[in-house]
Each structure stands twice: as structure tokens, then as C-alpha cells.
Amino acid sequence: MSAHHGDGGPFARRGRLPDGAYWREQIRCQAACPVHTDARGYVRAIAEGDFERAYVIARGPNPLASICGRVCGAPCETQCRRGEYDKPVSIRALKRVVCESFGPERRAAGGRGLHDYLREAAVRFGAHHCQDKEELLPMLQALTAGEVPRVKGKSVGIVGSGPAGLAGAHDLALLGFDVTIYELEQFLGGMLMVGIPEYRLPRQVVQAEVEVITSLGVKGVTGCTVGKDVTFPQLRERHDAVVIAVGMKASRKAPCPGANAAGVLGGVEFLREVSLGRPPVLGSRIVVIGGGNVAYDVGRTVVRQTSVDAARTAKRSSGVAQVYLCSLESLEEMPADDVEILEGDEEGLIRMNSMGPKEILTDPAGRARGVLFQKCLRVFDEQRRFSPLFDPESLTEIACDSVLISIGQTFDLSFVDAARDGLEVRPNGTILCDPVTGVTKAPDVYVAGDLAYGPKLLIHAVASGKAVARAIYERATGRRIGHEATEIHFPVTRYGREDGYEKTTRVELRTTPPEERLHDVKRVVEKTLTLQAAQVEAARCLDCGVNTVFDGEKCVLCGGCVDVCPETCLRLVPLAGLTTGVDLDPGFAAELPPDASAILKDETICIRCSLCAQRCPADVITMERFLYRETPRCQED
């Protein structure tokens, strides 16, 4: 029986009898991942020194694993139980290690043949981890065996080649569809290529991942503006289904006077121009307005660009560019990741918190010459709704040559006519759809990515593309891709942990020194962990797929397990005296003797040390590994 922390200390919340769902939820990193990557599986493989098996696990459900190893927002780390003990495991950085060793960016054949390699590797390694229904390898096996019949003679057009479009194309091609991606840029990759700075995501990594997808037969029509080069109705005539997966490529304008002045640019547009090799001239004093990760991408790119320009021209009288990053939020409230803030400070961004733009000031020629800010007293109201409150008497003027706005992004859906296309549009201009499946009012039109559910992480876009692929398959074939679940617990007879694992501190990620970063806009900041450092970091994983399983019929109520637990996460109590609201099946409860006892375990603080199992004199406690596999199967509607 499990209980959880509450305001009253350990065991204060409601208890729960473990079942299959409970054991899955214990692997919190996997449960938190939108594509359910078994992060615990590949982290423990790294700890054991099996880096290739780790890559096969990491790549399983995620067609953009190499990209995610560098820029994923890592919700798995947010939920990592080790983070409640000290600091979470560096899961994303560990994924990067194995992707750089075995992914398409390292293979001589690039993306070609990757699926054949993965299929062969699966045979060598076996399915010794938790395989969700999104896993590639069970799907490949089901397709080969005909348990999920491939589609024949059906085509899908995808508008946009960002993460949602690429992931959808990948899975649709595997399912047998003829897939064509229509992309505005001259290359596939969308915002991955023009919206994320190269110091975070090298272009060759994106190209390698794209090659995996095109090797499946996916075609790309690049340099194509839908609505101009081809109309949306024409796409619907060409294809049996069309997926709208356009990225948020347009910046929102600042809601203040002067926002349309010359010298005021959108942050997203600026990043695109830099990526395409045509950076705009900014001057030597630049104000970036915004406090999120994209604002930091903009500000840090500006710092690099001005450093490069200064080195080339050596004409600035000051010798040093000044780049201000001004946000509504206080430092503690800023939505940007901590590492972005820290590295931005290292690189010389002048951070100005709790300031909102009141007016963009212009010169007689109508060009921006500065920004007038007013102090922001609060960003959110008592209900945590966005409701900034300003002090109009507390003003700050910052002189500048250019202003870059990065306070949010929006879509360009000018190619869609709701009435003509049989679609329903929300008040904010986006297309009404099921946020999970992407299904719209028009039977052949689907929506994927941020356009379906609002701005989220890159890995959410990957999950969205995969879900839309399944929805299209279901509508095209009349069959739903379900799954057969197999769950097992097996005793780990020689369970052991690395010496001192509970005391090992998180390995700090190495970075390129600031003075070396700034003179090259492509110089990667975060360095890859060495294999040795990766093993040390991976060994910090608490291995939440291993559980303490208690045989109540053998327990002698000695309390030895409670005494030896270093985290005090166990408690032995009379069942009649429970006041924590444990839900018991009425029939089960009726069969219990009046003097029955219960073992309560607080899972939030268990470190899987096995001392309780070692101490038990009656062999009541075993360390058991939980595994599950969801095998794809088609089900008739």
C-alpha cells in the first residue's frame, strides 16, 4: 500500500493499493514524456555502460531523438524523482550522448537504413524495457506481420515541416501513405532550421533527422507558399488528407505606441533572417522585449551578431555593443529556463526585470530611438491570470538603435478560408479541432502542433504529429490502432546499486567559455558529456522501474524494514487505525481479520536502496522490476 506526502508530513495524503497503472506512474520520467520515452530504461543502460542499447531505447518512440537530445524542454527531468531528493538526472544531456554515438548524425549512411539498423538492434538487445504503444519497433513488427495492415493508394499532404509535420510524415510513411510535405523555406525542417539558433542546434543534426524521414519515401516540396504557389483547395484535390502543421513563424506586436516604427523588428523574424545568412543591421544599442526562451534566443543571437559585426568593422566608438533584455517578470518569475538566464548573463546581456514598454520613441524620421518603460508591479493577479499592473509614475527610458519584440508568436493562416474550406475558426483565429487527434470539422483536414493546442514544447509537437498520423489511418481504413498490453514483475535476484549513488551530485554540463562563444554565431555552447561522465550521471537514476514488493502473508510484523529505511518512507500500522482515507475494495476489506496490519510506503522519497529487503528476516520483501509492452493491434470500428 502506498501513501504520499501532504502538509501533515509523510503519509498524510490518501493511500492507494498498487495496480498496473500505479506501477507505470512510478516511472515518472516516462509518464511525463508526451511520446512516453522510457527515459529510465536508457539512463540505466548508460549507467551499465551499454550505450548502444540506450540509443535504441531513446530512439524507440521519438523520430526526432537527436534533436531532442539538444533542445528538448525535458518534462521528464521536471518529474524526475531524483529531483525531490537533490537534483534531477540530466536526462536530456544523456540522450544527446547516445544519439551522437549511434544516431543518424554519426552514421556513415546518414538517415538511410536507420530503421533496418534499429530492427536488427532490437533482435540483439531484446525488449528489456517499458515499451509504450508509441514505440517504433513493436509497430514495425506489427506492420511486417500484417497485424497493422499498411495503407495502399492513399496520399497525405502536410503543410509545414517543423517537428509536428516531420513526426507525422514519419509515422504516416511507415503506415503506407504516400506523403508530401509543403514547406515555405528552401529546405525541410521549418522552425528547427530557422527558429532555433545554431549555437543550440547545429543544422547538420536537423538535416540528418530529416534524411531519416525522406528515406522512407516522404517527398518535400520546398520554397512553396501555400496560398500563393498552390492553393489549399488544390492540396485537398491532390491528397486524401491534408495536415496543417504550420509553425508560429510570426511575432506578436507590442501593444504600445511606436510598435510599427522603422527599426522595430519581430524576434522570430530576426532569427529567421540570421539563419538564412542575411542578418539585419541593428546598430550598437539594441533592446529586446520579452522574458521567455525565445527572447533569450533573440538576445543571445543579437550579442553574437553585434560581436561579429564589431570584429569585422571595428568602427564603433564605444567598442562594445549594449544589448538590453527587458521583461515584465521579475527574475524569479521569468519563464525562460534558468540555464538561458545564466548563460545570457555570462554573455553580457543587460537584463532589466519588472519593466513593461509604455512607448517606443521615434526620431523625426520615424525611426526607433529608444523605449520608454514603466515599472511592472505584478504580472499575474490572485488567480494567476495574466493581468500586469504598472506604476505609471516610475518610468525608465533606454536609448537604442533597434528594438526586437519577443513577447509571443502567432500563425499565418491566410491560405485558409473557413467558409470555403468547411472549417470552424476559434475567436483567436486558429482552427477548431480535437487537440489530441487534430480532427477538424472537414473530414480530410487535420491540424497538428502548436496550432492544435497552443504553444508547448518541441516534444509535444512530435507527439501531436504521431497522434494525427494514427487518426488519419483510422479514418482511411476504418480500423483503429489499439494495443495489447503485457505487464510483468520479476524479482531481481542480485539487485545492487552503484557505491555512493545517493550521494553523487549532478554532473555539471560543460560549456564553451563566453569569450569563445561570441565571435561565432554557430559555435555550440553546451558540450557533450564524456562517456565516463555520462555513466556517473546516469548512475544517479533511482531506477523507478524497480519496486519493493511485500508478501503480507509471510510478514512477522517485526518492523525491521521500518527501522533500517534511511529515508523513513515505510510505516507499519494497524489497519483498523488508518485515518488516511485508504480506498479498499469492500470484498477484500471484509475478508481481513480485525487485527490486520498495513505497510504504508511513501513512494516520493524511496531511493530503491533495497536495505529493507536485505533486513527482512522472513523474505517478505523482494526487489522486483516492472516491465510492460503495448503491442499495436488493429481494431475494427
Kindly report, residue by residue over 193-206, the tens digit of the pLDDT: 999 999 999 999 99
Q: Which CATH superfamily is domain 150-249+411-477 in?
A: FAD/NAD(P)-binding domain (3.50.50.60)
**Reduced 3-state DSSP string for 472-486:** HHHHHHCEEEEEEEE
- Model confidence band, residue 316 (pLDDT cutoffs 50, 70, 90): very low
> Poorest-confidence range of 4-8, 388-392, 396-400, 436-440?
4-8
Map grid coordinates 526526432 to a residue. 64
20-50 pLDDT, tens digit per residue, is 888 999 999 999 999 999 999 999 999 999 9
Q: What are phi and psi of 301, to 5 degrees?
A: -70, -40
Q: What is the dihedral of CA 92, 184, 432, 250, to 10 degrees?
A: 70
* Residue 313 reports pLDDT greater than 70: no
The closest of 612, 616, 610 to 556, measured between CA atoms, is 616
Three-state secondary-structure class, residue 191: helix
The predicted structure's pLDDT at residue 317: 36
pLDDT band, residue 421 (cuts 50/70/90): very high
Q: Is 346 helix (H, G, I), strand (E, B) or coil?
A: helix
Contact 337, 549 (CB under 8 A): no
Decide: 199 and 522 in contact? Cβ < 8 Å. yes
In the CATH scheme, what architecture does the domain 252-408 have? 3-Layer(bba) Sandwich (3.50)
- Residue 134's nearest CA partner among 51, 214, 30 is 30
Q: Say if residue 345's pLDDT is above 60.
A: yes
Record the pTM.
0.92
Please tell me which residue, 601 or 531, carries the higher pLDDT value. Answer: 531
- Cell 561579429 found at: 308
Angle at 261 between CA 257 and CA 267, to 5 degrees: 95
pLDDT category of residue 586 using cuts at 50, 70 and 90 = low
Cα angle 151, 188, 305 (rounded to 5 degrees) comes to 160
What mean pLDDT comes out for the span 235-253?
94
Domains 2-17+543-636 and 150-249+411-477 are alike in CATH topology: no
Give the span between the Cα atoms of 220 and 550, in whole angstroms: 56
pLDDT at 589: 54
Residue type, 453: Y
pLDDT at 576: 67
Residue 269 grid coordinates: 523574424
Q: For the residues 422-435, what does the mean pLDDT come to?
A: 93
pLDDT at 575 exceeding the cut of 80: no
| In the predicted structure, residue 311 carries a pLDDT above the cut 90 | no
- The answer on pLDDT for 262 being more than 80 is yes
List residues bridging with 601 in a β-sheet: 2, 570
Choose the weakest-confidence range: 270-274, 316-320, 595-599.
Answer: 316-320
Distances (CA, A) of 407 to 1, 196, 273, 357: 47, 16, 18, 11
Domain 2-17+543-636 in CATH 3.40.50.620? The answer is no
| Residue 578 confidence class, pLDDT cut points 50, 70, 90 | low
Per-residue pLDDT band for 142 (boundaries 50, 70, 90) equals confident
pLDDT, position 591: 61
Q: What is the dihedral of CA 292, 294, 299, 303, to 10 degrees?
A: 140
Per-residue pLDDT, 354: 97
pLDDT given at position 308: 64
Q: Which three cell numbers stand for residue 350?
A: 543587460
Q: What band does 582 get if pLDDT is binned at 50, 70 and 90? A: low
Q: What is the pLDDT of residue 616?
A: 93
Q: Where are the domains of the chain?
A: 2-17+543-636, 150-249+411-477, 252-408
Which is nearest to 538 in space by CA: 83, 79, 91? 91
Q: pLDDT digit string (tens) for 466-520?
A: 999 999 999 999 999 988 888 989 899 889 999 999 999 999 999 999 989 988 8
CA distance 458 to 243: 18
Cα–Cα distance, 328 to 380 (Å, whole number): 10
- For residue range 60-70, what is the model confidence (pLDDT) as tens digits? 999 999 999 99
Give tens-digit pLDDT for 73-120: 999 999 999 999 999 999 999 999 999 999 999 987 777 889 889 888
Burial (CB < 10 A; 0-12, 13-18, 19+), residue 572, is: middle
Question: Tell me, what's the pLDDT at 552?
Answer: 82
Mean pLDDT of 172-178: 97
Mean pLDDT (the chain, rounded): 90
215: helix, strand or coil: coil
- Asked if 163 contacts 141 with a C-beta cutoff of 8 angstroms, the reply is no
